[in-house]
A and B are shown apart, each in its own frame.
Chain A
Amino acid sequence: MTTPRPDDEPTSAELELLEWLDKYDDALARGETIEFPSDLAKKFDKLPRWVQCLERLGSLAIPQTIDSGAPGSSSRSSSSLTQLPRDFGAYELLEELGRGGMGVVYLGRHRKLDTHFAVKMIRTSEFASEEEIRRFFQEAQAASRLKHPNIVSVHDAGELDGLPFLVMQYIRGETLSERTKREPLDLDGAVRILIPVARAVDYLHSQGIIHRDVKPANVLIDDDGVPHVTDFGLAKVFNVNQEQTATGTVIGTPAYMAPEQAWGKTNTVCAANDIYSLGAILYELIVGQTPFPESNPLDQILRLRDSEPRPPRRVNPLVPIELEQICLRCLEKQPGLRYETAKDLADDLERFLHSEPITLKPIGVWQRIRRWVRREPALVSHLAGFLTMAIIIEIRQILASQPRASFYPVMVILLTWSLLATAMQKLLIRGKLWVRYVWVAMDAVLFTVALNFAQPPIESLLLGYPMLIAACSLWYEPTVVLVMTIASVVSYLTLFTLRGDSQTPVHYPFIVTGMLLVVGGITFGLIRRIRKLLDLQANG
């Protein structure tokens, strides 16, 4: 049944089992249980025993949530390090406020001053070298000089028991990400929140600090609804933003990261990175999803580099055109094309709010085409191909002494093909991934129909089939290549039966079929290999 096989490739049933065990394990950590589907229990008779095993492991595991109860509660047994409240230098740590990549934030009370602060304890093993300690305090020093109503001020920094910590202003409220999860903001509300955030980021820039990690979780909204930016500059010291491994791969969800940052070009870190992130926040606030909502980090990184986000108005038609312009300008791929300063962005947002004309000039035609190419590459390449073909046929028609019979049918086919491709693209943008299969099959069929009308001998035009197979590999999807190969072979054989040249030797069709299969097979293999490599990189 489940004896380990040498290659240990999971079967599909095992994959499903893994997924459920994983879900169960996560639920267990939260103190809940979930039901397994009954067919799974039938397939794996040992399931109850594994579940029991997981439950027992849970009792030895580190507790997921920190018990902030009184001393003597169960957290005491797990580790005195997590016991609260506890003494911490001049402070008493009362409860945990949150934890992130770098450390844990506690609500602390200064005993002498009797004031509440947020105490951030840095908890990373990388944090060991003199150099990093020095940089940490240097950043803390720079941060402590800042004074801005929308920036969380830093009051103190130090080291206790070898743990560096930062004492910051305590903002009572919630983060912007919690706020939006609770209830989406309306358009005006979103802009109203973002203006002070952009001004705060601009203030940071004027002080020579690049935030590098502007995201909703780093914007705290106090009880009066005023936003406060936190955690600036620290990303540089701890490198949490890039989270790069030695090989330079990016891990995590780069949802708010500028493309140049996501690709690890650390030498280009500048104000434009933060402006991109502000744009990504704006996008999420007005559209309801991040610019590249792919769940898989691999696809997210690929899209972040190669494609454009869907224009906000396509997702949410209520977004005014000015707001869309402002947003997309922040999300430009090239840093130089974004707003020059965060202040310009804030000013434009303010103008938008007061219904004044924004300063942004509409983008040029060239830039518009580039955006389109990146957004809908499949459609653009199809149309470009048709246009080239049409031009060639048109010239031939003009030069010909007498009208050719194939001219009109072929032109009609090209036109139909263009319309269908546009429709396919529209469906694809709605997230219907099966469209790709229909699209490639349609390509093979329509190409064959066009060939059917072409003047004989058509043998040289058969090169179109391997071209189609090669082109569809740009989806990076092995099954798409498979579908295209099959469709090409079937179409070709049909074409040959319908209007085979009597002079063609009988065995040629077999050779052509064989060659098509080889091209398809090689392309299929290459795509699979590329996906595996990328997957390996993205997941460490």
Chain B
Amino acid sequence: MSAQPSRIRQLISDARDGDAAARDELFQCCRNYVAVVARTQVESWMRTKVDASDLVQQTLLDAHQGFEQFQGTEEGEWLAWLKQILAHNTQDFIRRYRTAKRAVGKEVSGDRQTESRAGILENLRESIDSPSQALMAHERELELADAISRLSPDHQEVIHLRSLQRLSFNEVAERMGRSRPATQMLWFRAVEKLEEILKENSPE
């Protein structure tokens, strides 16, 4: 096990005690994770390449503002909490993305956005009381997301499409404009690389 989970626990505890630097670091640690999950969620729903950076931004912002409502102490709980905020925001993001694409030029009503924002935090309060066991299972996801974001752009893309969004190799090949064998090879190289990065990062 890497030392990271205990580090996150420390950061959460420090941030809760009002250490602003710890809080910033905590969010910085999770940015890659939120980005990877956001992209997976949005793209597998939309089935196309989508720039989800707004969604990441919004989610981190919501988490920052609602930090007091987070009750957990462990990394697993923390990530689950982020995922929940992300899930709520994803729905909103996709709706806005579609309507925006449809009615180019028409501004999306700001009222509706603030209304749904308030709703999210309201909803979160309810769900946070019952941290589910299943949500805490994957404690090393943070490390993995960091490793993925250190891959080259092509390797990131193929890991995202094939391993995270679970598209077939034919679909991945088409999306990336390569032949199927080349895509399979690229995927394998990406897994190799990913494994190296993970090994480097976790001293045994």
Distance between Cα atoms of A50 and B192 in the complex (Å): 7
Of all chain A residues, the one with the shortest Cβ separation from B188 is A18
A27-70 at interface with B (beta carbon < 8 Å):
29, 46, 49-50, 52-54, 56-62, 64
Distance between Cα atoms of A369 and B44 in the complex (Å): 51
Question: At the interface, yes or no: A74 with Cβ under 8 Å from chain B?
Answer: yes
Across the A-B interface, give the 3 residue pairs with the lowest CB-CB distance, nearest first. A162-B98, A540-B174, A125-B48
A535 CB, min distance to chain B CBs, angstroms? 7
Question: At the interface, yes or no: A163 with Cβ under 8 Å from chain B?
Answer: yes
**B195: chain A residues within 8 A (beta carbon):** 46, 49-50, 52-53
Of B164, B174, B180, which one neighbours A57 at CB under 8 angstroms? B164
**B46: chain A residues within 8 A (beta carbon):** 125
Cβ contact within 8 Å between B163 and A54: yes
Distance between Cα atoms of A73 and B166 in the complex (Å): 21
Cβ contact within 8 Å between A61 and B87: no
**A161: chain B residues within 8 A (beta carbon):** 91, 94-95, 98
Cβ contact within 8 Å between A76 and B98: no
Of all chain A residues, the one with the shortest Cβ separation from B50 is A125
Cβ contact within 8 Å between A79 and B181: no
Chain B residues close to A by CB (< 8 Å): 36-37, 40-41, 44-48, 80, 83-84, 87-88, 90-91, 94-95, 97-99, 101-102, 130, 132, 134-135, 137-138, 140-141, 144-145, 159, 163-166, 169-170, 173-174, 177-182, 184-185, 188-189, 191-192, 194-195, 198-199
Distance between Cα atoms of A56 and B198 in the complex (Å): 11
Of all chain A residues, the one with the shortest Cβ separation from B135 is A77
Of B94, B130, B163, B188, which one neighbours A72 at CB under 8 angstroms? B130
**A56: chain B residues within 8 A (beta carbon):** 140-141, 144, 198
Cβ contact within 8 Å between A125 and B47: yes
**B84: chain A residues within 8 A (beta carbon):** 76-77
Cβ contact within 8 Å between B98 and A49: no
Of A62, A163, A536, which one neighbours B98 at CB under 8 angstroms? A163
Q: A56-B141, A60-B145, A540-B179 are in contact. List 20 more A-B contacts (CB 8 A).
A: A25-B163, A52-B195, A53-B198, A59-B144, A60-B36, A60-B164, A61-B165, A62-B44, A72-B130, A73-B134, A74-B135, A76-B87, A77-B134, A77-B135, A78-B87, A79-B45, A81-B90, A125-B48, A126-B48, A161-B98
Cβ contact within 8 Å between A62 and B179: no
Distance between Cα atoms of A29 and B199 in the complex (Å): 24
Given contacts A56-B144, A62-B44, A74-B132, A80 and B88 within 8 Å (CB-CB):
yes
Cβ contact within 8 Å between A8 and B163: no
Chain A residues close to B by CB (< 8 Å): 2, 4, 8, 10, 14, 17-18, 21-22, 25, 29, 46, 49-50, 52-54, 56-62, 64, 72-74, 76-81, 123-126, 128, 130, 133, 161-163, 245, 251-252, 535-536, 539-540
Cβ contact within 8 Å between B91 and A61: no
Of all chain A residues, the one with the shortest Cβ separation from B136 is A77
Of A17, A80, A536, which one neighbours B91 at CB under 8 angstroms? A80
SS of B interface (majority): helix
Given contacts A50-B195, A57-B163, A72-B132, A540 and B47 within 8 Å (CB-CB):
no
Of B90, B95, B166, which one neighbours A61 at CB under 8 angstroms? B166
Distance between Cα atoms of A52 and B147 in the complex (Å): 14
A36 CB, min distance to chain B CBs, angstroms? 15
Cβ contact within 8 Å between B102 and A76: no
Cβ contact within 8 Å between B166 and A539: no
**A76: chain B residues within 8 A (beta carbon):** 84, 87, 132
Cβ contact within 8 Å between A61 and B47: no
Cβ contact within 8 Å between B177 and A60: no
Of all chain A residues, the one with the shortest Cβ separation from B130 is A72
What are 12 A-B pairs with beta-carbon distances under 8 A? A14-B188, A18-B184, A46-B195, A49-B199, A53-B195, A60-B144, A73-B134, A76-B87, A77-B134, A79-B90, A162-B94, A540-B178
A207 CB, min distance to chain B CBs, angstroms? 30
Cβ contact within 8 Å between B170 and A251: yes
Of all chain B residues, the one with the shortest Cβ separation from A72 is B132
Of all chain A residues, the one with the shortest Cβ separation from B178 is A540
**A252: chain B residues within 8 A (beta carbon):** 170
Distance between Cα atoms of A55 and B199 in the complex (Å): 15
